[in-house]
Every structure is written in C-alpha cells, then in structure tokens.
C-alpha cells in the first residue's frame, strides 16, 4: 500500500453530508487530518485548482498515503482497509450486506436527490420556488427514512451496527442533521432518532458536527 509522510488533508465543506461522513470516519479511526475548506456557497469546488485535484469537483476529497481519494463511501472503505480497527463493515457476509444496504439507502437513495447542486438546479434552471423546493426535500427524505426506520426496528443494539457504529451509522447522522435543518418531522422515526442521539453523544461524532467545524465568521 502506498504511504507518504505528507499530512492527511481533507478537502471539506462543513455542511456537506458526504464530508461530514468522512470527518466521522477519520475521527473514529483516530486519523489526524488537516481540513481544507472548499466553500460550496461560492462555487470554489468548480475552480480550476480544485478541479485539478478532483476532476468531479465534489467534496470531500481526501489526500492520504500519496493518493487523492474521492467519493465518501469509497474513502470510508479505504480507511477501513488502511486502519483496521474499529471496523466500519463487518467481515460476516450477511451482516456486511445489511450494513452496506443501510448505508446505500442513505447515500444513494436519499442524499443525491437533496444535495446542494440539485436544489440549485431546481431554483436556477427550473424556477422552482423555495416552498416547493423544501417540499421536494422533505418528500424524498421522509420516503427514505420510512424504510430505514423499519430496518432499524429489527436491529439489536443501540446503533445500526449493533453495539458499535458501522458505515450505516456514519451515513445516518449527517442525514438526520440535514432533516432537522429542513424541518422534516421526525416523530414517526423513533428508532432512528434514538440511534442518532446515541451516536451524536460519542466524541468522534460530536467533533465532526458542522457546528464544531464551521469556519469562523
């Protein structure tokens, strides 16, 4: 595996769900890193300098071991291989499949429909007014959380990963944070709310919270 003496550097936006996931993962693994802010509000992710590092122009992007890693779940998978404990994905095939399914339900089925570039497209290209955009957001979040709630009800332990946080838990907390930001009613999701409360009490999750890493000013 390639390694480097260079510092681990996370290109990050404090409210990005995907970046939030990677901050949690780095904290859980005990990997110290330098945060480099990429302000999505001003379009810094489209600057030529950043595109040279990450042609997709998304955050997060992690520089580690001489590599430039993108896509949050791929970064989390790399960290799981690079720093074996604590594990984010079980070695047991059935448990592994369940954990990945839960994570992908969030990362693939909920989050992409509601990220900043989609909301901007609805506003700028399609002329959708803010109340309708917020309804769009809440609809897709609620639809995804209904399925997650049903699966969470079947889980033993205080987290989606059981007694220790897994990749699904890393994905859940940023999604619940965003749901609250957009005033999605969560009273129908008591299991998810309980898991989120247990997770956000952990130091690794608390230190990754957007309020803890927000730029000054």
Beta bridge partners of 70: 61
CATH code for the domain in which residue 70 is found: 3.40.30.10
pLDDT at 1 over 60: no
pLDDT in tens, 182-206: 899 999 999 999 999 999 999 999 9
CA-closest candidate to residue 149, choices 90, 104, 195: 195
For residues 76 and 113, state if they share a domain. no
φ, ψ (nearest 5 deg) of residue 200: -70, -15
Question: Edge to edge, what strands does the sheet with 9-12 contain?
Answer: 34-37, 9-12, 61-64, 67-70
| In-domain check, residue 2 | no
Inside any domain, residue 109: yes
Of residues 126 and 4, the one with the higher pLDDT is: 126
Total tally of structural domains belonging to the chain: 2
> What does the DSSP assignment read for 187-209?
TT-HHHHHHHHHHHTSHHHHTTS
Provide the CATH number for the domain around residue 113. Answer: 1.20.1050.10
pLDDT at 2 over 50: no
In a domain, 3, yes or no: no
In a shared domain, residues 62 and 104: no
Residue 134 lies in a domain: yes
What range defines the domain where residue 15 resides? 9-86+206-213
Q: What pLDDT score does 63 carry?
A: 96
Q: Give domain status of residue 4, yes or no.
A: no
From the number of C-beta atoms within 10 Å of its C-beta (0-12, 13-18, 19+), residue 82 rates as: middle
What band does 217 get if pLDDT is binned at 50, 70 and 90? low
Residues 198 and 178 in one domain: yes
Same domain, 100 and 80: no
Per-residue pLDDT reduced to its tens digit, 21-59: 999 999 999 999 999 999 888 888 888 888 988 898 889
For residue 213, pLDDT over 70 is answered with yes
- In 3D, which of 58, 57, 67 has the Cα closest to residue 107? 58
- The whole-angstrom separation of Cα 196 and Cα 186 is 11
Query: Domain check: are 132 and 170 in the same one?
Result: yes
Residue 31 CA to residue 195 CA, distance in Å, equals: 24
Count other Cβ atoms within 10 Å, centred on residue 150. Answer: 11
Q: Residue 37: which H helix or E strand, with range?
A: strand 34-37
Residue 19 lies in a domain: yes
């Amino acid at each position: 595996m390639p390694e480097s003496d260079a510092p681990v550097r996370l290109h990050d936006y404090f409210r990005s769900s995907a970046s939030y996931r990677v901050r949690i993962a780095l904290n859980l693994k005990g990997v110290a890193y330098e945060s480099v802010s990429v302000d999505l509000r001003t379009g810094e992710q489209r600057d030529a300098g950043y595109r040279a590092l990450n042609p997709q122009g998304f955050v997060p992007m992690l520089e580690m071991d001489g590599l430039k890693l993108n896509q949050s779940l791929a970064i989390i998978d790399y960290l799981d291989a690079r720093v074996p404990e604590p594990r984010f994905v079980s070695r047991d095939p059935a448990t592994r499949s369940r954990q990945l399914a839960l994570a992908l339900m969030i990362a693939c089925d909920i989050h992409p429909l509601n990220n900043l570039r989609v909301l901007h497209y609805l506003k700028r290209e399609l002329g959708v007014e803010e109340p309708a955009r917020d309804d769009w957001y809440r609809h897709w979040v609620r639809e995804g959380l209904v399925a997650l709630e049903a699966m969470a009800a079947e889980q033993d332990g205080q987290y989606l990963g059981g007694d220790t946080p897994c990749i699904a838990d890393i994905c859940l907390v940023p999604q619940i944070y965003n749901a609250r930001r957009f005033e999605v009613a969560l009273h129908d999701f008591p299991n998810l709310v309980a898991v989120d409360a247990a997770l956000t009490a952990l130091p690794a999750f608390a230190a990754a919270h957007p309020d803890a890493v927000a730029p000054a000013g």
